[in-house]
């Protein structure tokens, strides 16, 4: 076991039920797994994702706001995709008219403990202002 710990932060659409928020988070994990399988992750990102899936497994679901907010979070998380696993999920047009239902990022302890610098510190600040998804 390594000393670095990771957590998945899933920002879910507040219009969904608690059960649906969990299911949409599962979709985000599936999207990350698809990226990992397709070698879309850099080596360090792949290593972080595998550690999270193999050892850490902690998921924090936060209230990400509405469709437009989740879309913004997905774009924002993409700025970190060269360092951390990121993914988002969007329903198809027939299900929820293409609504963004969840966006996720796997973060190391250095970020989620508030010890990050620069963009990581900004990310922590933004996430720490969100409430838990209920």
Residue 133: inside a domain, yes or no? Answer: no
1 pLDDT tier (thresholds 50, 70, 90)? very low
Residue found under tokens 């970020």: 111
The parent domain of residue 79 ranges over 6-128
CATH of the domain at 14: 3.40.1490.10
Cα–Cα distances in angstroms (integers) from residue 21 to residues 17, 36, 50, 76, in the given order: 6, 23, 23, 20
Total domains in the chain come to 1
pTM above 0.75, yes or no: yes
Residue 134: inside a domain, yes or no? Answer: no
Residue 1: inside a domain, yes or no? Answer: no
pLDDT for 4-61, tens place per residue? 899 999 999 999 999 999 999 999 999 999 999 999 999 999 999 999 999 999 999 9
Q: Which of 16, 129, 6, 14 is nearest to 65 (CA)?
A: 14
pLDDT for 65-124, tens place per residue? 999 999 999 999 999 999 999 999 999 999 889 999 999 999 999 999 999 999 999 999
């Amino acid at each position: 076991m390594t000393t670095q710990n990771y957590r998945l932060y899933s920002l879910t659409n507040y219009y969904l039920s608690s059960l649906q928020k969990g299911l949409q988070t599962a979709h985000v994990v599936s999207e990350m797994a698809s990226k990992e399988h397709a070698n879309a992750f850099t080596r360090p990102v792949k290593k972080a994702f595998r550690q999270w899936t193999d050892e850490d497994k902690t998921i924090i679901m936060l209230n990400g706001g509405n469709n437009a907010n989740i879309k913004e979070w997905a774009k924002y998380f993409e700025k970190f995709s060269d360092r951390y696993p990121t993914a988002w999920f969007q329903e198809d047009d027939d299900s929820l008219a293409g609504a963004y239902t969840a966006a996720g990022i796997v973060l190391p302890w250095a970020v989620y403990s508030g010890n990050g610098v620069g963009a990581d510190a900004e990310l922590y600040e933004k996430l720490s202002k969100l409430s838990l998804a209920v």
